[in-house]
Every structure is written in C-alpha cells, then in structure tokens.
C-alpha cells in the first residue's frame, strides 16, 4: 500500500439479536413544509395525532406502509425521513 492510499472502513457486521435504533426527521420536515401540525400530518396519512407524536418521539416505529405514506407527504424516499443506526 502506497503512502496516501485511502483504506475503506470495514462495516460492523449486522447482529440480528440487537434491536434496531430508528431515528426520524419528521419534526424538522413538518416545519420545512410550512409548519404543518402533527394533526395535519396525521390526517394526511390516516392515523391519529398521538401516533405521529409517538413516532416523532421515537416511542413507536411505524409500519412500512405508514413510513411510505409519511415520506410521500414530504416528497422524499423513506430513508429521507427515517434512519436506522
């Protein structure tokens, strides 16, 4: 290996026994989209305000279908709203 060569980091192996940590950008995106309320977002995707609140607070991970509905409201892909760490 020559001086200055870049070495790619080896990704950590996936451990299916560890719980996934899912974060989201819903709150920020609501404000970027004209400050829509949790209730307005809930109405657009067909759930309760409490569900949106729980998702924003990382107390609930949405179903795949709901994740797609939320991402479509913001005009981005699912990974634009949610991240798995």
Model pLDDT for residues 24-71, shown as the tens digit of each residue = 999 999 999 999 999 999 999 999 999 999 999 999 999 999 999 999
Q: What is the pLDDT of residue 19?
A: 85
Alpha helices in 1-85 (DSSP H): 26-32, 38-45, 49-56, 64-74, 78-81
Asked if residues 25 and 55 have their Cβ atoms less than 8 Å apart, the reply is no
For 16, the token pair is: 């299916």
Mean pLDDT of 65-82: 97
Return the pLDDT at 4.
Answer: 65
Helix (H, G, I), strand (E, B) or coil at 6: coil
Question: CA-to-CA distance for 21 and 61, rounded, in angstroms?
Answer: 9
- Grade residue 8 by pLDDT with cuts at 50, 70 and 90: low
pLDDT > 70? residue 3:
no
């Amino acid at each position: 290996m020559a001086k200055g060569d870049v070495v790619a980091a080896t990704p950590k192996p996936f451990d299916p026994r560890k719980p996934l940590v899912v974060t989201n950008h819903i709150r920020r995106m609501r404000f970027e989209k004209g400050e829509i309320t949790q209730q307005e977002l809930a109405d657009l995707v067909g759930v309760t305000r409490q569900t949106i609140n729980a998702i924003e607070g990382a107390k609930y991970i949405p179903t795949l279908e709901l994740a797609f509905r939320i991402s479509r409201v913001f005009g981005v892909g699912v990974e634009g709203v949610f991240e798995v760490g």
